[in-house]
Chain A
Amino acid sequence: MDCNNFFVSCERAFQPQLEGRPVVVLSNNDGCVVARSNESKALGMKMGVPYYQLRESANGRRIEVRSSNYTLYGDLSRRVMGILREACPELQVYSIDEAFMVLDGMTLDQARELCRGLVRKIRRWTGIPVSIGIASSKTLAKVANHFAKKYSGYRGVCVIDTDEKRLKALQLTPIDDIWGIGWRCAPKLQKMGVNTALDFVQRPSAWVHKHMGITGVRTWQELQGEDVIEEENHERRQTICTSRSFAETIPDLDELTLRISDFAGICAHKLRKEHSLAYEVCTFIQTNPFRKDLPQYYPAATTRLEMPSSNTPQIVSAALRALESIYKEGFQYKRAGVIIANIIADDAVQGDLFDTEEEQRQKADKVSELMDKFNSSGSNMLRVASQRPGHYAEGIRREHCSPLFSTSWEDLIKVH
Chain B
Amino acid sequence: MAQAGIHAGFPSPAQDYMDGIMDLNKELVRHPAATFYGRVVGDSMVNAGVDEGDVLVIDKSLEPQEGDMAVCFIDGEFALKFISFKGPQKGGQEAHKPGVSYNILGCKDLWLLSGNPKYKPIHITEGNDFTVWGIVTYVIKKIK
Interface residues of A (CB under 8 A from B): 16-17, 71, 79-80, 82-83, 121, 124-127, 239, 280, 282, 284, 299-306, 321-322, 325-326, 339, 341-342, 404-406, 408-409, 412-416
Contacts and interface: CB of A to CB of B under 8 A. Distances in A.
Contacts of A280: 11-12
B101 interface: no
B4 to A, nearest CB: 7
Q: Which 8 A-B pairs have the closest CB atoms?
A: A341-B11, A125-B34, A304-B5, A79-B33, A412-B39, A415-B38, A16-B73, A415-B78
A326 B37 CA distance: 31
Interface residues of B, number: 37
Given A16-B131, A82-B33, A301 B39 contact: no
A252 B36 CA distance: 43
A83 B32 CA distance: 10
B18 interface: no
Contact of A301 (B8, B55, B71, B73): B8
B133 to A, nearest CB: 7
A303 B133 contact: no
Given A16-B133, A341-B11, A415-B78, A125 B6 contact: no
B11 A302 contact: yes
A267 to B, nearest CB: 12
B60 A125 contact: yes
Contacts of A306: 5
A342 B11 contact: yes
Contact of B9 (A17, A301, A415): A301
Provide the main secondary structure of the chain A interface: mixed
Contact of A17 (B41, B76, B79): B76
Contacts of A126: 33-34, 60
Nearest to B60: A125
A415 B33 contact: no
Contacts of B80: 415-416
Contacts of A303: 4-6
B5 A71 contact: yes
Given A413-B39, A415-B38, A415-B79, A339 B11 contact: yes
Contacts of A71: 3, 5
Contact of A415 (B8, B61, B71): B71
Contacts of A79: 32-34
B17 interface: no
Contact of B78 (A239, A408, A409, A413): A413
Nearest to B80: A415
B119 to A, nearest CB: 10
B8 A300 contact: yes
Contact of A302 (B6, B36, B41, B131): B6
A79, A80, A306: residue with the most chain B Cβ atoms closer than 10 Å? A79
Nearest to A283: B6
B72 to A, nearest CB: 9
A302 B9 contact: yes
Contacts of B10: 282, 284, 300, 302, 339
A124 B11 contact: no
B60 A302 contact: no
Interface in B13-62: 31-34, 36-42, 44, 55-56, 60-61
11 contacts: A83-B33, A121-B61, A284-B10, A304-B6, A305-B5, A341-B11, A342-B12, A404-B3, A413-B71, A415-B80, A416-B44
A284 B79 CA distance: 46
Contacts of A282: 10-11
A16 B9 CA distance: 37
B132 to A, nearest CB: 10
A15 to B, nearest CB: 9
A124 B5 contact: no
A306 B3 CA distance: 11
Given A121-B61, A412-B39, A416-B78, 14 more contacts: A16-B133, A79-B34, A282-B10, A299-B8, A300-B9, A301-B1, A301-B7, A302-B8, A302-B10, A325-B4, A339-B10, A415-B40, A415-B79, A415-B80
A279 B11 CA distance: 10
B6 A415 contact: no
Contacts of A305: 5
Contacts of B33: 79-80, 82-83, 125-126
A319 to B, nearest CB: 11
